[in-house]
């Protein structure tokens, strides 16, 4: 084929493309008009009987060279685009999205603001074991100017034979210590039935990784007036985390902090793989503050400080780390909790890096 022939055919193709474009847009205008008529008369936008009729009609008129199945596939895409055009743009945006609310959400925990541009540390033992244990950690935190106290009372353990937590007694211990030292209590609740009871003890309800898609729990915490720390599931995509948070906000609770805590990958050098890029993605896609849990993501004490630096450097609003007076005898997560001296040097290094100023 000569170059002229090729050029001529290409010219015709360009013309056909423009005609198709005009026809597709003409179809879009008609679909919009139909959408208006339907919404005025209260009819549903998607009508499967009508769609089947259109596909049959297309099949009847198909003279090739495309197979009918191919043509129908293309038309189904066009139908879908038409339906999307009918939808109210605003309705499609998630409540947690930046598109819906451009300004940052700042969660105020008794004066400790998360998401206002400052950096916060959340610390405390993996599990609440006793009043003395929690008090010792909390006191060292308070001496360092840190008021956000975490501790697990309901522990979602892999094995049913492992320590399951002190339950309500654990919440009572956390509350007592926090009241004595003017601190803020963060603890995980695993069952929707316990949410109301927990309101008397907690300042922040934590939704753990294993419950990240427990939609009944998400709806329950969405309906109460208490901030929620929402962790990413260990096999959740960023989109699934965002939609989980949407469950909470859709029920009216706007005080949500997202937490990247590592995801499961094939890498075995760390307990989970810290997905550090989730932080700027979540900050970009949502208006919610973002925390990084360096303990559960790495599962390694030696990586807590470098990953905390990475978290603050990339824009995290807060970092969570576990601290125990004597990690060697801790009832859970003994390998990665810091003792109090290690916690102090962790903070000193972070301050020296200039990334944490408090």
**Which residues bind to ligand PEP, rule: CB under 6 A?**
126, 152, 188, 208-210, 231, 261, 293, 296
User: How far apart are CB 153 and ligand PEP at their closest, in Å?
Assistant: 10
Residue nearest ligand PEP, CB atom distance: 208
**Cα 278 to Cα 114, 216, 283, 332, 350, distances in angstroms:** 17, 25, 8, 27, 21
| Closest CB to ligand PEP among residues 82, 152 | 152
Closer to ligand PEP by Cβ: residue 209 or 256? 209
Q: Which of residues 225-264 bind Mn ion (CB under 5 A)?
A: none
Task: Answer yes or no whether residue 136 interacts with Mn ion by CB under 5 A.
Answer: no
- Choice between 79 and 247, CB closer to ligand PEP: 247
Nearest residue (CB) to Mn ion, 97 versus 337: 337
DSSP string, 33-64: HHHHHHHHTT--S--HHHHHHHHHHHHHH--S
Whether 79 and 51 have beta carbons less than 8 Å apart is answered as yes
Task: Choose from ligand PEP, Mn ion, none: what does 301 bind? Cβ within 5-8 Å by kind.
Answer: none
Of the candidates 240, 255, 238, 243, the residue with the CA atom closest to the CA atom of residue 184: 255
CB of 179 to ligand PEP, least distance (A): 22
Residue 294 CA to residue 343 CA, distance in Å, equals: 13
- Smallest gap, in angstroms, from Cβ of residue 199 to ligand PEP? 19
Binding site partner of 208, from ligand PEP, Mn ion, none, Cβ cut-off 5-8 A by kind? ligand PEP
Residue given tokens 């925990």 in the structure block? 109
317 binds Mn ion (CB under 5 A): no
Q: How far is the CB of 233 from ligand PEP (least distance, A)?
A: 9
Nearest to ligand PEP of 222, 233 (CB atom) = 233
Count of residues in the chain: 358
Q: Which of 175, 205, 210, 157 is nearest to 332 (CA)?
A: 157
Residue 244's binding partner out of Mn ion, ligand PEP, none, with CB under 5 to 8 Å set by partner kind: none
Under rule CB under 5 A, residue 323 binds Mn ion:
no
Among ligand PEP, Mn ion, none, residue 271 binds (CB under 5-8 Å by kind): none
Contacts of 232 (CB under 8 A, 6+ apart): 209, 212, 238, 241, 258, 259, 260, 261, 263, 275, 278
DSSP string, 77-113: HHHHHHHHHHS-HHHHS-TTBTTT--SPP-EEETTEE
Task: Pick one of 96, 123, 126, 279: the residue that binds Mn ion (CB under 5 A).
Answer: 126
Binds 190, which of ligand PEP, Mn ion, none (CB < 5 to 8 A, cut-off by type)? Answer: none
> Least Å distance between CB 40 and ligand PEP?
49
Which of these segments, 198-206, 279-287, 312-320, 327-335, binds Mn ion (CB under 5 A)? 327-335
Query: How many whole angstroms separate alpha carbon 246 and alpha carbon 228?
Result: 12
- Residue 320's nearest CA partner among 297, 302, 340, 300 is 297
Q: Phi/psi of residue 230, each to 5°?
A: -105, 110
Span 329-348, contacts to Mn ion by CB under 5 A: 333
| Residue 107 in tokens | 């969660």
For residues 358 and 159, give the distance between their C-alpha atoms in angstroms, rounded to a whole number.
Answer: 38
Kindly state the smallest distance separating residue 41's Cβ from ligand PEP, in Å: 49
Of 122-130, 172-180, 218-226, 262-270, the window that binds Mn ion (rule: CB under 5 A) is 122-130
Per DSSP, 310 falls in state H
Closest CB to Mn ion among residues 294, 350? 294
Q: Report the number of secondary-structure helices (H) and strands (E) in the chain.
A: 13, 10
Cα-based angle 153, 158, 159 (whole degrees, multiple of 5): 95
Q: Which partner, Mn ion, ligand PEP, none, binds residue 188 by CB below 5 to 8 Å per kind?
A: ligand PEP
- Positions in the binding site for Mn ion (CB under 5 A): 126, 333
């Amino acid at each position: 084929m000569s170059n002229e022939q090729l050029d001529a055919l290409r010219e015709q193709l360009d013309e056909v493309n423009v005609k198709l474009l005009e026809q597709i847009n003409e179809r879009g205008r008609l679909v919009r008009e139909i959408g208006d008529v339907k919404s005025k008369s209260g009819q549903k936008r998607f009508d499967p009987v009508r769609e089947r009729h259109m596909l049959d009609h297309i099949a009847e008129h198909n003279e090739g060279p495309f197979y009918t199945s191919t043509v129908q596939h293309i038309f189904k895409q066009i139908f879908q685009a038409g339906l999307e055009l009918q939808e109210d743009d605003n309705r499609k945006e998630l409540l947690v999205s930046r598109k819906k609310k451009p300004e940052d959400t700042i969660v105020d925990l008794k004066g400790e603001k998360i998401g206002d541009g400052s950096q916060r540390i959340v610390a405390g033992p993996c599990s609440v074991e006793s009043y003395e244990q929690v008090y010792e950690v909390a006191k060292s935190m308070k001496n360092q100017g840190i008021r956000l106290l975490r501790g697990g009372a309901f522990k979602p353990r892999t094995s049913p034979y492992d320590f399951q937590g002190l339950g309500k007694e654990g919440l009572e211990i956390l509350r007592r210590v926090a009241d004595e030292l003017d601190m803020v209590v963060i603890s995980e609740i695993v069952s929707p039935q316990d949410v109301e009871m927990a309101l008397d003890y907690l300042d922040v309800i934590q939704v753990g990784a294993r419950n990240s898609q427990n939609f009944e729990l998400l709806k329950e915490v969405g309906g109460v007036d208490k901030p929620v720390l929402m962790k990413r599931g260990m096999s959740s995509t960023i989109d699934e985390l965002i939609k989980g948070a949407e469950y909470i906000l859709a029920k009216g609770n706007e005080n949500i902090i997202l937490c990247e805590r590592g995801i499961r990958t094939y890498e075995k050098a760390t307990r989970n793989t810290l997905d550090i890029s989730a932080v700027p993605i979540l900050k970009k896609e949502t208006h919610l503050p973002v925390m990084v849990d360096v303990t559960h993501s790495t599962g390694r004490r030696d990586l807590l400080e470098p990953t905390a630096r990475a978290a603050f450097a990339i824009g995290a609003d807060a970092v969570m780390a576990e601290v125990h007076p004597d990690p060697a005898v801790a009832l859970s997560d003994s390998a990665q909790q810091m003792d109090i001296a290690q916690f102090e040097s962790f903070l000193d290094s972070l301050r020296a890096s200039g990334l944490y100023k408090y």
